[in-house]
Chain A
Amino acid sequence: MKKTILSLAAAAAVLSLGTMGAQAATKACYIYVGPIGDFGWSYQHHQGALEMQKNLGEENVELAYLESVPEGADAERAIERFARSGCNIIFTTSFGYMDPTNKVAGKFPDVKFEHATGYKREHPNVATYNSRFYEGRYVQGIIAAKMSKAGVAGYIASFPIPEVVMGINAFVLGAQSVNPDFKVKVVWANTWFDPGKEADAAKALIDQGVDIITQHTDSTAPMQVATERGIKAFGQASDMIKFGPETQLTSIVDDWGPYYIERVKAVIDGTWKQHDVWGGMKEGHVVMAPYTNMPDDVKKLAEETEAKIKSGEFNPFTGPINRQDGSEWLKDGEVAEDGVLLGMNFYVQGVDDQLPK
């Protein structure tokens, strides 16, 4: 479903046809995995894009986007179409766009590519960017262990990719730092976005006795189910407090605006360079929604942990941490390397689930 911003596209067409040689605006293009109305992952990226355009001025930046682009072969076509249509910079905002992005980037050396959450930069015109969401998930784990009476939380996961595995690990490490016996039940929805299925997964988990729900899928449906069943839950990607005023404990809010402003501005100024940025709480990429529906002592503990992570005093992946099979991963005091985290394909000890391969 192509929905460019029509007026802008029309204006650009008139410009390029009518006034030859006039300075064309910089065109920033976005590929989203879900609809921009998901109120989750894609919604937040789009909010960031809009903020960027507003900040840099509509006369300077033309915005185009494609939503609900499936990962895989379709993505390559979509990216290539953007590259051909005169985009100066293309943001591909899902892990599954990694290979297509690099492939198209090889064919269009003059176009800048920015791939979110990936680790491959095969050409000088590909940059990668990500946020350290695991920092937020560690804090959520602590809250979950404090708040759960059953001692079991339900985790609705999307696909077994490093980003998601890392999140589960951080959540479990956080929870078990408070309660070593804490359990997490993981259900893989095998989709980023299907409100009905996400709701069903939440119902299944609650029927099996969990009393906290957290999700790594993109819709607000699990929050609503938790509200209906009277348990607590964590929001995802955006502040979902409206969907669970008495349910949401906190939410990891993705704030991409500042990054998009910085990068598109670099294209306009001609200073764009390849890089790999992984911002966390410290850089303001990961923001926690207000801590709500919890006693003051839990809130205080969460805030203290957040402050420690923000100041760099503490990293959730600090040893000693063993792998799920009991073998040693990090020695006492050792901090995980970013490269290992970005390719994380194993569970840490204490996760009660088999990682799908």
Chain B
Amino acid sequence: MFESILITIATAATPLLIASIGELVVERSGVLNLGVEGMMVMGAVTGFGVTLATGSPWLGIFAAIAVGALFSLLFGFLTLTLVTNQVATGLALTLLGLGLSGMLGEGFVGQPGIKLGNLYIPYLSDLPVIGRLIFGQDPVFYLSVLLTVAVAWFLFRTRAGLTLRSVGDNHGSAHALGINVIGIRYLAVMFGGACAGLAGAYLSLVYTPQWIENMTAGRGWIALALVVFASWRPWRVLAGAYLFGAVSIGQLHAQALGIGVPSQLLSSLPYLATIVVLVLISRNRRLTMVNTPASLGRPFVPDR
């Protein structure tokens, strides 16, 4: 039972982690894309549809990643090339994604999907307690952890990562140094879109293998909050996603056990926990300021 609870937590945390890591890179480059929910739901419908058509969840996942990136390109074109307001454009992207996915997915409603299989390594997956947890989960779970490692390494250990962060901190100076601010931001936005697409596909192919309209049910917004919660640090995103997952699953178990705490309070625990941690980490204002990308959300128009 213990192992099964941990796996449930991992399943709940994985889509949040993937979407947050993507958005973290976007925000580190100085762009605020509030369209995570919309890109996620587009990924979910694409992943499901392509899997249904081809019978291969892997093709579904790749298609979802591609569509997520393409969809974010729309946001990139509007905010980076046409310099529209990022907040408004991001919100519009979410609305568009929710509506468009509902339309595209109309024929998928009520059709059972194909689940992406779990990993199975002989002997190792059969180990007691930790076997399935470490060696027997779905491939995307491992990918999400790898992604966190890769992004942490990229941002803080490579020159390209430093360049990306410099664009996010002061796009004027970066531009003066000859860095292609817009180009880098385009790439970051597309990476964010690809991650959101993957997170969406995780929902429709692993978490609940089916297509239901609005099936993201606000997870894109939680992913956005997690980035702030983590003060733009990849490992804290991982911690935050798992904390959120653990509290969400924990409260359901508390209810099933019949603990005499009102269920409304238990249901709000994940959000309360997020707020509490947020308050705790923002006590030190200077430390928060150090991590916040200084150009976040500010439009960039290169001087001529």
Contact = CB atoms under 8 A, between A and B. Distances in A.
Contacts of B4: 203, 207
For the residues of B in contact with A, the DSSP-based class is helix
Contacts, number: 129
A356 B256 contact: no
A205 B12 contact: no
A191 B271 CA distance: 15
A204 B256 CA distance: 7
Interface string B1-38: 10011001000100100000000000000000000000
Contacts of B207: 195-196, 199
A352 B103 CA distance: 43
B109 A39 contact: yes
Contacts of B99: 1, 3
Given A195-B208, A203-B4, A3 B214 contact: no
A68 B209 CA distance: 21
Interface in A224-252: 224, 228, 238, 242-243
B217 interface: yes
B249 interface: yes
Contact of A207 (B8, B219, B260, B264): B8
Given A196-B208, A204-B253, A43 B109 contact: yes
Nearest to B9: A200
Contact of B217 (A154, A196, A205): A196
B122 to A, nearest CB: 22
A35 B102 contact: yes
B100 to A, nearest CB: 10
A350 to B, nearest CB: 14
Nearest to A68: B214
Interface string A265-303: 000000000000000000000000000000000000000
Nearest to A239: B110
Given A43-B109, A204-B253, A220 B210 contact: yes
Interface stretch (A21-29, A180-188, A307-315, A336-344): A180-188
A194 interface: yes
Interface in A51-83: 67-68
B106 A224 contact: no
- The size class of the interface chain A forms with chain B is 35 or more
Given A185-B258, A188-B255, A353-B258, A204 B212 contact: no
A208 B257 contact: yes
Contact of A1 (B15, B102, B106, B115): B102
- The size class of the interface chain B forms with chain A is 35 or more
Given A154-B256, A193-B214, A207 B208 contact: no
B8 A195 contact: no
B267 A188 contact: yes
A190 B256 contact: no
A221 interface: yes
B263 interface: yes
A200 B263 CA distance: 15
Given A193-B214, A199-B208, A221-B210, A39 B110 contact: yes
Given A160-B263, A204-B252, 20 more contacts: A1-B98, A1-B99, A34-B214, A35-B214, A37-B106, A38-B213, A39-B109, A43-B110, A195-B203, A196-B12, A199-B208, A201-B252, A203-B4, A203-B249, A204-B8, A204-B256, A207-B1, A207-B253, A208-B256, A220-B212
- The 8 A-B residue pairs whose C-beta atoms are closest, nearest first, are A35-B213, A37-B213, A188-B263, A204-B252, A190-B267, A194-B217, A37-B109, A221-B208
26 contacts: A3-B103, A34-B214, A35-B214, A37-B212, A38-B212, A67-B213, A68-B213, A185-B256, A186-B255, A187-B256, A187-B263, A188-B267, A191-B217, A195-B212, A203-B4, A203-B249, A205-B256, A207-B1, A207-B8, A219-B208, A220-B110, A221-B212, A224-B210, A242-B111, A243-B210, A354-B260
